[in-house]
Amino acid sequence: MINIFQPSLGDAELAAVAEVFRSNWLGRGARTQEFETRFANHLGVGGEHVTSANSCTEATFLAVELAGVGPGDEVVLPAVSFVGAANAVASAGARPVFCDVDPRTLNVRVTDLEKALTPRTKAVLLLHYGGYPGEVEQIAEVCEDRGVLLIEDAACAVASSVDGRACGTFGDMGVWSFDHGKVVVTVDGGMFYAKDPDMVAAAAKRLYFGLEQFSGFSQAQRTDARWWDFEVSSFSRRSITNDVLAAIGCVQMDRLPGFLRRRQEIVTRYHKDLADLPGVLLPPPLPPGHVSSNYLYWLQIDGGIRDVVAKDLYENGIYTTFRYPLLHRVAAYGAGDVRLPNAERAAEMTLCLPLHQALTDEDVDHTISVLHDAVTSRLAGARKAQS
Ligand SMILES: *Cc1c(COP(=O)(O)O)cnc(C)c1O
């Protein structure tokens, strides 16, 4: 089966893990710090702006908490977004307000956002669909003008940028994922960014029981007489990562430029070889200055044949899917019967193709060829049924 997502973990990651085993320090320590520093450098921000977490979902819950979101507040997010994002809002006792998206990029536009903002809007939780930055600069301005906090879910956008500025750093807070299906993989893990370093310090505290200081669990020598004491002034959970996973992350950061090059090659092939396929729309070109991490490659297939095309691909050993199922249709979020026509149409037409750096040229050839046959024959079938 050709996977849609796939991690690239090998001997270099194993060697880094072995080194951590031999060091006898598996918990949060030097490697975690190194990974955080490297990630901050990659974003182009100082180390005081980031802290790692055990998942992106945890970092999202944390961002919503630190935004001071609570009962009576609204948080706007796209209908095409990750379930964890809506859960973070709902579990804070606030109301998730779902907005529509661009029909082609599946990203929120300023016009979509403005329809959803109310005086109760406390924050916007923006997704960079598939790695496309979208109108993030303009959205950041709107949020600032309205006094609304902007949190960027940059799980798809680990190396996305606009004019050299990293996605995830346009707003007040940003979060990234390193789970097993993302571009950079630590098996499980996340990163939290805040514009305000005090917020990062508050985040780090909340990620470790709410303790006032952390030196007790680093290898640093404590010089106080009673180094075993700790100071509790707030109550929180334990959501840190560790040196085993961070060591994997450091190797993945070394390999990231290679991953991105290979992903771009595959996207270029898809663009070139699918451009003339009737009934299929490809992701629109990126505006000048925009860089995508190429996390997803999505087609939009006309004529109600998306699902049967996906089945044909599956039967030929190619796994595809749609990301992300509509959240306003999840009854538990209480959106009622709000209509978001672009998102709804996109959810019926959009199919994400295999995209990861381990795809071989043969995998890509096979996918393109099966897709050509499936779309052509299913479209002909649909037309015949109609006439
Ligand atoms: C994967 C993903 C997440 C969650 O990341 P975890 O690290 O698995 O918690 C959040 N948002 C988006 C858009 C994702 O794709």
**pLDDT for the residue 224:** 67
Rg of the chain over Cα atoms, rounded to whole angstroms, equals: 22
What's CA 237's distance to the chain center, in Å?
A: 23
Half-sphere exposure of 260 (CA within 13 A, CB side): 16
Domains 11-252 and 256-386 share a fold: no
Contacts of 323 by beta carbon, 8 Å cutoff, 6+ apart: 80, 130, 296, 298, 352
Neighbours of 103 (CB within 10 A): 16
Element (H, E) at 299: strand 297-301
Domain spans of the chain, in order of start = 11-252, 256-386
Pocket of ligand 1 contains residue 84 by CB under 6 Å: yes
In angstroms, what is the span from residue 56 Cα to ligand 1's centroid? 6
- Tokens representing 129 are 């669909």
**pLDDT for the residue 383:** 87
Ligand 1 atom with the smallest distance to the CA of 59 is 9
Pocket of ligand 1 contains residue 131 by CB under 6 Å: no
Q: Which CATH class is domain 256-386?
A: alpha beta
Below-50 pLDDT ranges, the chain:
216, 219
The string of pLDDT tens digits covering residues 312-342 is: 999 999 999 999 999 999 999 999 999 999 9
33 backbone dihedrals φ, ψ, rounded to 5°: -65, -40
**pLDDT for the residue 216:** 47
**pLDDT for the residue 233:** 81
Contacts of 86 by beta carbon, 8 Å cutoff, 6+ apart: 77, 96, 98, 327, 330, 333
Strands 161-162 and 121-127 turn out to be unpaired
Say how many residues make up the chain: 387
CA atoms of 250 and 185, how far apart (whole Å): 10
282 SS3 class: coil
Model pTM score: 0.96
Q: Which residue out of 5, 55, 57 has the highest number of ligand 1 atoms within 8 Å of its CB and is therefore the one to mutate?
A: 57
Pocket of ligand 1 contains residue 56 by CB under 6 Å: yes
Pocket of ligand 1 contains residue 82 by CB under 6 Å: yes
CB 92 within 8 A of CB 69: yes
CA atoms of 277 and 280, how far apart (whole Å): 6
CB 102 within 8 A of CB 340: no
Where do the H-state alpha helices sit in 283-360?
306-315, 341-349
Maximum Cα–Cα distance for the chain, whole Å?
Answer: 87
- In CATH, what number does 11-252 get? 3.40.640.10
CA atoms of 314 and 238, how far apart (whole Å): 40
Pocket of ligand 1 contains residue 155 by CB under 6 Å: yes
